[in-house]
A and B are shown apart, each in its own frame.
Chain A
Amino acid sequence: MDLQYFLELFLSGLTRGSIYALIALGYTMVYGIIELINFAHGEIYMIGAFTGLIVAEVLVLMGFGQLSILLLAGLVAMIYAAAYGWTMEKVAYKPLRKAPRLSALISAIGMSIFLQNYVLLAQTPDFLPFPELIPDLKFWEPYSHIISSAEVFIIFTTAVIMIALNLLIKFTRIGKAMRATAQDRTMAMLVGININQVIGFTFIIGSALAAVGGIMIASHVGQINFYIGFIAGIKAFTAAVLGGIGSVPGAVVGALVLGWTEAFATGYISSDYEDVFAFALLVLILIFRPSGILGKSTTQKV
Chain B
Amino acid sequence: MSETQLKTGYLLSEIKKSLLISVWFMFLTFPIMVIRVNTVENYIRWRWGNMVMIGVGTFFISWVWRWMMSRKEAGRRHAETLGEDAEKLPFIQRIMENQKIRVPGLLVIALFVLGFPHVFSPYQTNIMITALIYVMLGLGLNIVVGVAGLLDLGYVAFYAVGAYSYALLNHNFGVGFWTALPIGAICAMIFGILLGFPVLRLRGDYLAIVTLGFGEIIRLVLQNWGEFSNGPAGIKNIDRPGFFGMQMDLAGNMTYLFYLMVLLVIFTIFIVNRLQNSRLGRAWLALREDEIACQAMGIDKHKTKLTAFALGATWAGFAGVIFAAKTTFVNPSSFTFMESAMILSMVVLGGMGSIPGVIIAAFVLILLPEYLRAFSEYRMLLFGAAMVMMMVFRPGGLIQNVQRRYKYGIEELQSVERNSHD
Query: A interface vs B, CB < 8 Å?
Result: 36-37, 47, 50-51, 53-55, 57-58, 60-61, 76, 80, 83-84, 87, 91-92, 95-96, 99-107, 109-119, 121-123, 128-129, 230, 234, 237-238, 241, 272-273, 275-276, 279-280, 282-283, 286-287, 290, 300, 302
Contacts and interface: CB of A to CB of B under 8 A. Distances in A.
Max chain B Cβ within 10 angstroms of own Cβ: one of A55, A103, A106, A128:
A106
A275 B216 contact: yes
A83 B69 CA distance: 23
Contacts of A92: 388, 391-392
B79 interface: no
B383 A58 contact: no
Contacts of A302: 292-293
A83 B388 contact: no
B217 interface: yes
B35 A54 contact: yes
A87 B28 contact: yes
Nearest to B39: A129
A37 B384 contact: no
Given A272-B224, A273-B220, A279 B213 contact: yes
Nearest to B150: A102
B344 A106 contact: yes
B315 to A, nearest CB: 21
A276 B383 contact: no
Given A110-B388, A114-B388, A273-B220, A241 B209 contact: yes
Given A51-B32, A96-B392, A114 B384 contact: yes
Contact of B32 (A103, A116, A123, A287): A123
Contact of A286 (B199, B220, B293): B199
Contacts of B69: 95
Given A37-B208, A117-B384, A83 B27 contact: yes
Interface string B195-219: 0001101111110111011101100
Interface stretch (B159-167, B265-273, B373-381): B373-381
- The A interface is mostly helix, strand or loop, or mixed, namely helix
A279 B37 contact: no
B224 A273 contact: yes
For the complex of A and B, the 3 pairs showing the least CB-CB separation, nearest first, are A110-B387, A114-B384, A113-B384
Nearest to A57: B37
B202 A110 contact: no
Interface string B10-53: 00000000000000110111011101110100111000001000
A290 B149 contact: no
Given A83-B27, A113-B384, A107 B204 contact: no
A106 B395 CA distance: 10
Contacts of B212: 234
Given A96-B392, A290-B206, A111 B384 contact: yes
A58 B37 contact: yes
Contacts of B348: 106
B188 interface: no
Contact of A279 (B201, B216, B390, B395): B216
A84 B216 contact: no
15 contacts: A37-B208, A47-B32, A54-B31, A57-B37, A60-B42, A96-B392, A101-B204, A106-B348, A106-B387, A107-B387, A234-B216, A273-B224, A287-B202, A290-B202, A290-B206
B125 interface: no
Contacts, number: 167
Nearest to A237: B209
A276 B214 CA distance: 9
A282 B292 CA distance: 26
A105 B213 contact: no
Given A83-B27, A276-B221, A290 B381 contact: no
A302 B293 CA distance: 8
A6 B197 CA distance: 37
Contacts of B25: 87
B343 interface: no
Nearest to A275: B220
Given A51-B32, A106-B391, A282-B210, 12 more contacts: A87-B28, A99-B391, A102-B151, A103-B395, A107-B392, A111-B388, A113-B341, A117-B378, A234-B209, A276-B217, A283-B213, A283-B214
Contacts of A102: 149, 151, 204-205
Interface string B375-411: 0011011011111101110010000000000000000
Contacts of A119: 32
Given A110-B385, A273-B220, A104 B39 contact: no
Contacts of A110: 345, 383-388, 390-391
Interface string B161-191: 0000000000000000000000000000000
A110 B293 CA distance: 31
B28 A105 contact: no
Given A107-B391, A123-B32, A230-B337, A113 B383 contact: yes
A106 B341 CA distance: 10
Contact of B42 (A61, A83, A87, A112): A61
A128 B39 contact: yes
A99 B352 CA distance: 15
B204 A279 contact: no
A103 B385 CA distance: 14
B225 to A, nearest CB: 9
A117 B380 CA distance: 6
A112 B204 contact: no
B50 to A, nearest CB: 7
Nearest to B42: A61
A117 B44 CA distance: 22
Interface in B128-155: 149, 151, 153
A96 B338 CA distance: 24
A241 B203 CA distance: 13
Contacts of A111: 384, 388
A300 B292 contact: yes
A83 B23 CA distance: 13
B383 A103 contact: no
Given A101-B204, A122-B32, A286-B210, A58 B44 contact: yes
A15 to B, nearest CB: 23
B202 A95 contact: no
Interface in B197-256: 198-199, 201-206, 208-210, 212-214, 216-217, 220-221, 224
